[in-house]
Chains A and B, each alone.
Chain A
Amino acid sequence: MLKMQNIRKSYRTDTIETHALRDFSLEVNEGEFVSVTGPSGSGKTTFLNIAGLLETPTGGEYLLDGQEIGGLSDRDRSRMRNEKIGFIFQGFNLIPDLNLFDNIDVPLRYRGFNTKERRRRIEKSLEQVGLSARAKHLPAQLSGGQQQRVAIARALAGEPRFLLADEPTGNLDSLMARQVMELLEFINEWGTTIIMVTHDPDLARRAQRNIQIVDGQVSDLRQSIAQEEIATV
């Protein structure tokens, strides 16, 4: 599903060069639920951004769904994000000027679905997150947990193969966090591959596999390989 080999990413400002990822290698299989932990600034978001084609690596090889990403144009990467990848962000990232219905509609319009198909998907995904009644509300009229569920609905509506979540519960209290986690587990059961960055060790443990990033590298590759073997046995 996802295969990264010796990925490097460095950010250069006028004075300093930061190596956010160094020799980063990782494989994630179809249908896995992987949690990513690690200290702040260790490169977790950078990893998710590269995995989600939001940023391009400085070096290394990245295969997503059998496709070498390095040679893709900006346009192709946009299409791949749109069709294969769903994003869930810590800050929800709903568009404040649009109501819930229109927010979920955004990626579907870029996808080029017709009105009927879009409406069907929007209604279905709102139902899945239990917010059908709020379709015409603005994001600001919802609680944080509800907003995050809308963001999940927006990701689900495109029926992505691959869901990337960057601290999806970071801004939520524990009850709401649990609801969101349950929703993600449910989605994973239906076959969507999920990679979730989290600070919460309890949530991280609930994933099939946990990887730790320290200083831009997977800290204990052996451990995660060992876990993977257990999972496949």
Chain B
Amino acid sequence: MFELKPMLSALWRNKVSAMLIALQLALTLAIVSNATAIVQDRLTSMARPTGMDVDNIIAITFMPVPKDYDMAGAVRADLDMMRSMPGVVDASVTNHIPVSGSGSASSFYLEPNAQIGDLDGNYYQTDPHFINTLGLNLIAGRNFSDDEMHVIGSNESFIGSVIIVTQQFADAAFPEGDALGKFLYHGSKDNPMEIIGIVERHLGAWPSWALAGNVVFHPLLVEGNHKRYLVRTEPGQRDAIFKQLEDKLAERDPQRVIHLETLSEKLASTHVSDNIMVKVLSAVMTLLTFIVALGIVGLTIFWINQRAKQIGIRRALGATRANISRYFLVENSLIAGTGLVLGTAGALIINQLMVSEFSQPVLSLTILAVCAILLFAVSLAAALMPAMRAANISPAMATRSI
């Protein structure tokens, strides 16, 4: 037996305060649901499988000092030395460390000399050992052979004739699933690059990039730039090998500056900004929800004090305690419901903006519904204590105070 009609007309006479609370809830829902979408997106992106044996890989960067340094020779000697170390599974050279947050991307085309229809892909210049070193899973085709590996000077331009791609990239380029043996081109160039192999997964340089996982591998060593090695050890050997490597690399060539990191450290530091984002947004959401709850408590107490006499009258006319608490809870639900309907619209509008202007994730209706239900529960909980207090107002209030 809800007194909806008279309740609504009474609310209408107090519409300013009611609207304030409703708007506060609307804004909270709009912000909290969008923030939740972002948090969820970040959490999923952080939880995304990398495709690599992250825990057992050491990443090494070295910067050659002298001008005419024999890069190719040094790389060959370093790799041979590292591969022969007991406990090392394999080692390979690469232009960038995966999941490190730094890398290169380029546009790939299905036709030569094309201007449109490009596909963005993260690319690596590496060697035939990269599959084994990263622990990737070759699901179709073959690995690079040693004679497909090219070494070029830093000023030379060269496009190889073979590439290996991730399955995700293969599917993006050839949705029919027949990528193997097909060709890709760099824009305004007509050198075909044949897809000779497909690896199941490689997350690439930027785990939170929208296209993370679109990766292309070239068998190429460009001299002169910084070079990086990746070394995969037997499980449990990583830290021991790490120490040996520092000494052995310095011993082999003391001239250069060497920097070693584990790939898991790299991945963690790449996630730092996402982690901070998640923490900041969670704090903002908690704070907002708390503030809106306080607002509701405050307003409900204010209204109850304002209507103490009226509550006494209702009690005198036969309202039970339960009738009184229920009145305020239903009233609160009406306000909250209005606010949450407005907030749903607001959330969707804000999300459109976030998607188009800041390439943030699309807000799912599930998240929106869950946030709305939670906020509704919070607002009910906030009104509960004042509503119970209202029920304790004595019916004698009707006769005592004028």
Which residue numbers of A lie inside 8 Å of B, CB to CB? 45, 48-49, 52-55, 74-75, 78-79, 81-83, 87, 89-91, 93, 95-99, 102, 105-107, 109-112, 154, 158, 166
Contact = CB atoms under 8 A, between A and B. Distances in A.
Contacts of B14: 97
A45 B399 contact: yes
24 contacts: A54-B395, A54-B396, A54-B399, A55-B396, A74-B320, A75-B320, A79-B320, A81-B316, A82-B317, A82-B319, A87-B317, A91-B402, A93-B398, A97-B14, A97-B310, A98-B9, A98-B10, A102-B6, A107-B317, A109-B1, A109-B3, A110-B314, A110-B320, A112-B1
A78 B319 contact: yes
Report whether over half of chain B's contact residues are helix, strand or loop; otherwise say mixed. helix
A97 B313 contact: no
B278 to A, nearest CB: 46
B399 A49 contact: yes
Q: Considering residues A52, A83, A154, which has the most beta carbons from chain B within 10 angstroms of its beta carbon?
A: A52
Listed from nearest, the 10 A-B pairs whose CB atoms lie closest are: A82-B318, A97-B10, A107-B317, A102-B6, A110-B318, A54-B395, A78-B320, A54-B396, A91-B402, A93-B313
Interface of B: 1, 3, 5-6, 9-10, 13-14, 309-310, 313-323, 394-396, 398-400, 402
B318 A107 contact: yes
Given A74-B321, A93-B309, A98-B9, 18 more contacts: A45-B400, A52-B316, A54-B315, A54-B395, A54-B396, A54-B399, A74-B320, A75-B321, A75-B322, A82-B319, A87-B317, A95-B10, A97-B14, A98-B6, A98-B10, A107-B318, A110-B314, A110-B323
Contact of B398 (A82, A89, A109, A112): A89
A54 B394 contact: yes
A106 B9 contact: no
B317 A154 contact: yes
Contacts of B9: 97-99, 102
Contacts of B6: 98, 102, 105-106
A179 B319 CA distance: 30
B398 A78 contact: no
Contacts of B323: 78, 110
A48 B400 CA distance: 11
Given A78-B320, A98-B6, A110-B323, A87 B314 contact: no
B319 A110 contact: yes
A87 B316 CA distance: 8
A90 B318 contact: no
Given A95-B310, A97-B9, A98-B10, A54 B398 contact: yes
A110 B317 contact: yes
Nearest to B13: A97
